A and B are shown apart, each in its own frame.
Chain A
Amino acid sequence: MLATDDGIKLSLEDLILSRSGRDFARVPNVRLGSGQSIALVGASGSGKSTALMAIAGIRPPKSGKVTIDGTDPWRLGRSARDRFRGRRIGLVFQSFHLVDALSTQANVWLAAQCAGYPVHDPSRLTKLLDRLGLSAIRHRRADHVSHGQAQRIAVARALINNPAVILADEPTSALDDHNTETLLKLLTESAVAERAALLIATHDRRVLSAVDSVVEMDVLP
């Protein structure tokens, strides 16, 4: 969980979350360096998703500090925060959320476009698709790919902008053991390869052995 200050990709300090004006959860302090991974665990309703929103600059925490690659997203203006999230944070969702109308490569490249990278970098895209075994289906529409391929597309999309932090929200909750193992391997290896910190919010105990460390949400009375 600890890393030297130079290589810190994600730092969470005294993060308190509130709901309907009431403090309801505290996120343990975290310091993650390049390639390090952590699981944020807790029961359903413990505030894991709210914590991810606070880290990703989507919903502000009640108090505390989030630092991603040296920047506190909550000190940025709204559009700068959107842009920062697009460029420095890779998001992997529970049900992957691919855009069905687009092809595999368009789904991946969409993340770059949304982050405001106007110049197409085909070599980056090609390398990523190659590494994740997606080259053969790069032109296939997202609603015509298998579940395993959809997982890899979602990971590729999270990695395309070379993020400092990868945030994954319950990525294994609907998967069997084999697919869980495959996805976790993919996420942790990608974090190492891309020199990003990986935080997985989960209540799935199968995740714990795949990450470097585990912290548990602290539900306030």
Chain B
Amino acid sequence: MTALTLAFAYLKRRWGQALLSILVGALGVAAVVIAFTAFDALPDAAERSWGGVDLVVGPKGSPLDLVLCCALHVSDPQGLVSEKTAMAAAHHPLVRLAAPIALGDNVDGWRIVGTTPAIFAIYHADFAQGDAWTKPLQAVLGAGVARALHLKMGDRFVGAHGLAMGGELHSQFPYTVTGILKPTGTVLDRLALCDIETVRYIHRKHAEDEAAETGVAETYVNLPDAATAIVASYRTPVAALLVPRLINANPTLTAASPSFEIARLMGYMRPLSYAATALGLLLVIIAGAGAAAALMATMNARTRDLALLRAMGAGPGTIASVAFCEAGIMAVIALILGGVLSWIALVVTSQILLDRTGLSIDPQLDSDTLLYLVAGAFAVAIIAALVPAIRAARTPIEELLQS
């Protein structure tokens, strides 16, 4: 009680100095929390986003690019494949469903994806209103797109060329909304879906117009069944061992597994996570060293006070505990502040990530990590207070009567 009262009073007295140590410590705690939670939350967010897609088949190239473009819809396509060739390659008894996708247009930055109704089953999507398209230039909207663009059943919208906002409008080809999906928590929420032939027709017309102007024919003109990729779901996880290998034997196709590619990507990012954790730990240690130096200086300045406590009957343990209490209070405040800072950072980051990529992260700090963090912070506090505490406990009372 004595030690805690004094520790609070002393901290209040030198709040500026204490605040600095607390801030550095809190930043360290926040860095460690963010590194741990973000690293675990990102793969989970990606997995939620690709939903029931087990396999992506696209043109020969990087499987990671294929997953980022056609499963997570965060990057641009690397080329086109023949739907017939890709569907034939994906036709296997272990493959439950497959659907082609054709990218190339957007509505206010939301991707328009030409596909077949099989895609609804792959993503386990249900209709909130309406139904799938039955004619060209009819569209089904993901829940997020409908909400963001305030589009209702029967509304019309015009797509723009390219995957980013600002492309040339295909004004002569307006879409009509025939269905709106229930939220799925997957990337489908952020897509506007239509018949693949519609996308092909619009792009064929666009390519013909371009060719007439430049004399160069685009792929859509030369490849009538062009698709960006095929997305498929397996009947059984065993398919992951067999099907991609068979498809990759085709010299024009690449088969990519989203879970494998994202695990590989996170493997590349692991050093970054280690670096962030190390930086956080370094900040915690710097805070501890700062607190130790400050405590040492203040203990020296408080020799008279500490001798007074001894003279009034306080044992060396009580005197030492003043230093431990001060360091402990700073550790508790740094932990709380670090927790708040990391929470704010994660909320802001997850919103930015959601806006830019559609990945919805749900950061959770597991109890083991939390325990290590609290234990670590208190260990640093105890080490920081150790030398000042020993010095304080050895304060001679004689000084008081001789001063």
Q: Which residues of A contact B (CB under 8 A)?
A: 49, 52-53, 56, 58-59, 79, 82-87, 91, 93-95, 97, 99-102, 106, 110-111, 113-116, 118, 157, 169
- Given known pairs A79-B315, A110-B312, the reply for A101 and B13 (CB within 8 Å) is yes
Q: Which residues of B contact A (CB under 8 A)?
A: 1-2, 5-6, 9-10, 12-13, 304-305, 308-315, 318, 397-398, 400-403
B305 touches A99 (CB 8 A): yes
A49, A87, A97, A100: residue with the most chain B Cβ atoms closer than 10 Å: A97
A91 to B, closest residue via Cβ: B311
Q: CA separation between A56 and B401, bound complex, in Å?
A: 11
Complex interface: chain A residues within 8 A of B13 (CB): 100-101
Q: How far is the CB of A61 from chain B (nearest CB, A)?
A: 14
B402 touches A82 (CB 8 A): no
Complex interface: chain B residues within 8 A of A113 (CB): 1-2, 5, 314
A110 touches B309 (CB 8 A): yes
Complex interface: chain A residues within 8 A of B308 (CB): 93, 97, 99
B398 touches A116 (CB 8 A): no
B318 touches A114 (CB 8 A): yes
- Given known pairs A97-B308, A99-B308, the reply for A58 and B313 (CB within 8 Å) is no
Complex interface: chain A residues within 8 A of B312 (CB): 85-86, 91, 110-111, 114-115, 157
Q: CA separation between A102 and B13, bound complex, in Å?
A: 9
B2, B310, B313: residue with the most chain A Cβ atoms closer than 10 Å: B313
Complex interface: chain A residues within 8 A of B304 (CB): 97
Would you give 28 A-B contacts (Cβ < 8 Å), ordered by A?
A49-B401, A52-B401, A53-B401, A56-B311, A58-B397, A82-B313, A82-B315, A83-B315, A85-B312, A85-B313, A86-B314, A93-B401, A94-B403, A97-B305, A99-B6, A99-B308, A101-B6, A101-B12, A101-B13, A102-B5, A102-B6, A111-B312, A113-B1, A113-B5, A113-B314, A114-B2, A116-B313, A169-B401
B313 touches A114 (CB 8 A): yes
B313 touches A101 (CB 8 A): no
A99 touches B313 (CB 8 A): no
Complex interface: chain A residues within 8 A of B2 (CB): 110, 113-114
Q: How far is the CB of B255 from chain A (nearest CB, A)?
A: 71
B7 to A, closest residue via Cβ: A101
Q: CA separation between A82 and B314, bound complex, in Å?
A: 7
- Apart from the given pairs A53-B398, A114-B2, 11 other A-B contacts in the complex at a CB distance below 8 Å: A82-B314, A85-B312, A87-B313, A97-B308, A100-B13, A101-B6, A102-B6, A111-B313, A114-B314, A114-B318, A157-B312
Complex interface: chain B residues within 8 A of A58 (CB): 311, 397-398, 401
Complex interface: chain A residues within 8 A of B313 (CB): 82-87, 111, 114-116
Q: CA separation between A169 and B2, bound complex, in Å?
A: 25
Q: How far is the CB of A106 from chain B (nearest CB, A)?
A: 7
Complex interface: chain B residues within 8 A of A91 (CB): 311-312
B5 touches A106 (CB 8 A): yes
Q: How far is the CB of B321 from chain A (nearest CB, A)?
A: 12
Complex interface: chain B residues within 8 A of A114 (CB): 2, 309, 312-314, 318
Q: How far is the CB of B14 from chain A (nearest CB, A)?
A: 9
Complex interface: chain B residues within 8 A of A106 (CB): 5, 9
- Given known pairs A101-B10, A106-B5, the reply for A82 and B310 (CB within 8 Å) is yes
Q: How far is the CB of B91 from chain A (nearest CB, A)?
A: 80
B311 touches A49 (CB 8 A): no
